[in-house]
């Protein structure tokens, strides 16, 4: 069985898209895979309830609990790895997980860690991607699924989706258009990786 662990920080809409698509298209069964756990760094992440409703184990590793540690990021990542590794993941999927991960964490899951970023990488790494694309006068924007490396938003690109930037777009309207594509491309990228 190929176990998938998904990390979220909020609503988990990409996580939900992966779970719904796996169920609707039956690729999880066909590929001998399943989402074994959804883990969040926030106890109030809305996506946890969705995962629980679908019979998926959930856990919270609150990054704020490590604020008093001498190396809080490393301590948090160590606790997160311990929680993930209980599920023996074939793939660790970042789906709106809003934490920058340490080099040690990334190295631990090398080749098994993927992310979706709301821009056409290598353009607009980091935050506020939609506003930055509009400010730069881009005619197109989109999303990228990539392997995670130690350098933020710079791993090998697995797939991309492109949407037009319309003349009256705001960051919110562009984000909504891009998110629609994310919900289509991320489940496909996960299935493609499971098939290899």
Whether residue 117 lies in the annotated active site: yes
Q: What are phi and psi of 29, to 5 degrees?
A: -65, -45
Q: State what percent of residues in the chain have pLDDT above 70.
A: 100
Kindly give, in sequence order, each residue whose CB lies less than 8 Å from that of residue 91, ignoring residues fewer than 6 positions away: 2, 3, 4, 5, 112, 113, 114, 190, 193, 194
Which domain range does residue 178 map to? 2-195
List the one residue out of 62, 76, 159 whose CA is nearest residue 120: 159
Tell me how many domains the chain contains.
1
Residue tagged active-site, from 117, 130, 146, 183: 117
pLDDT tens-digit series, residues 31-81: 999 999 999 999 999 999 999 999 999 999 999 999 988 999 999 999 999
Contact between residue 189 and residue 18 where contact means Cβ atoms under 8 Å apart: no
CATH number of the CATH domain containing 161: 3.40.50.170
Whole-prediction pTM value? 0.96
pLDDT at 84: 98
Those residues of the chain that have pLDDT short of 70 are: none
So what's the pLDDT on residue 25? 87
- Dmax (CA) for the chain in angstroms is 49
- Which residues, 6 or more positions from 24, have their beta carbon under 8 angstroms from its beta carbon? none
């Amino acid at each position: 069985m190929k176990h998938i662990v998904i990390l979220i920080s909020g609503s988990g809409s990409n996580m939900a898209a992966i779970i719904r698509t796996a169920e609707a298209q039956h690729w999880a069964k066909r590929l001998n895979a399943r989402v074994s756990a959804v883990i969040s760094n926030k106890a109030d992440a809305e996506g946890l309830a969705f995962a629980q409703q679908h019979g998926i184990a959930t856990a919270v590793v609150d990054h704020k609990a490590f604020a008093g540690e001498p190396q809080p990021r490393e301590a948090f990542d160590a606790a997160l790895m311990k929680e993930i590794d209980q599920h023996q993941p074939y793939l660790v999927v970042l789906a709106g997980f809003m934490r920058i991960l340490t080099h040690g964490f990334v190295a631990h899951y090398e080749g098994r860690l993927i992310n979706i970023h709301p821009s056409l990488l290598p353009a607009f790494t980091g935050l506020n991607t939609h506003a930055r694309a509009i400010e730069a006068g881009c005619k197109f924007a989109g999303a990228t699924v990539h392997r995670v490396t130690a350098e933020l938003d710079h791993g090998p690109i697995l797939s991309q989706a492109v949407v037009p930037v319309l003349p009256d777009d705001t960051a919110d309207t562009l984000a909504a258009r891009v998110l629609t594509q994310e919900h289509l491309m991320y489940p496909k990228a996960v299935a493609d990786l499971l098939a290899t």
